[in-house]
Structure 1
Amino acid sequence: MPNRRIIVDLSDRMLYLLEDNIVLRGYPVGIGRMVTQTPVGEFTIVNKHPNPGGPFGVFWMGLSKPHYGIHGTNDPSSIGHLVSHGCIRMYNTDVLQLASQVTIGTPVTIRP
């Protein structure tokens, strides 16, 4: 698998997929509310689950910080806003595309 990583930029509410430090794609995301902020730091993808049900849309990718992940949403109008309990929400079509391009162990940097 190529040298891929994910950067989530909370200030512009975007998730970027990089390969060898070149941005392949940017995706708009919804992030944590003021009281349940998305954690900042270095993480990895530790699991991947299609069709997790509930508010998690069509795909879940768990992060190495327990209870946090990158996932789809059943509320597409929430993308681009401070809406979650700390997770990173994506449009369902985007999360499926991203999930097909990364593996368990992919590094994820979340920056303010």
Structure 2
Amino acid sequence: MAAFSLRLSHELERRLGEEARHCGQPRSELIREALEQLLRRREQERFMAGLVAAAEVLASDASAHTESLDLSADFLTADSEALALAEEAASQDQPGQPRPQQWWR
């Protein structure tokens, strides 16, 4: 495991020490957890920004929009068939039980 030094403001160091005492974890563990969460969040934000950018490009392209509507129509049939099979399997798994209300219909 790599080690490095870190400069913290007095206030941040105080809060870190207080949290470490409160939860019974070493300060280094709290710093690792915080860093992991920060990096994960930033990676997710970049990924989502990429998806939004791609969606905006596709939305501005009329032929891509038409193609996506055609694809969604094709998948609608397959999704409906899969849902019907899942409902049938669920009803067979629990004979004598009332069928749950189908909220998705």
Q: Which has the higher contact order (CA 8 A, sep 6+)?
A: 1
Is the TM value for this pair above 0.5?
Answer: no
> TM-score by structure 1 length?
0.20
Which is richer in helix? 2
> TM-score by structure 2 length?
0.21
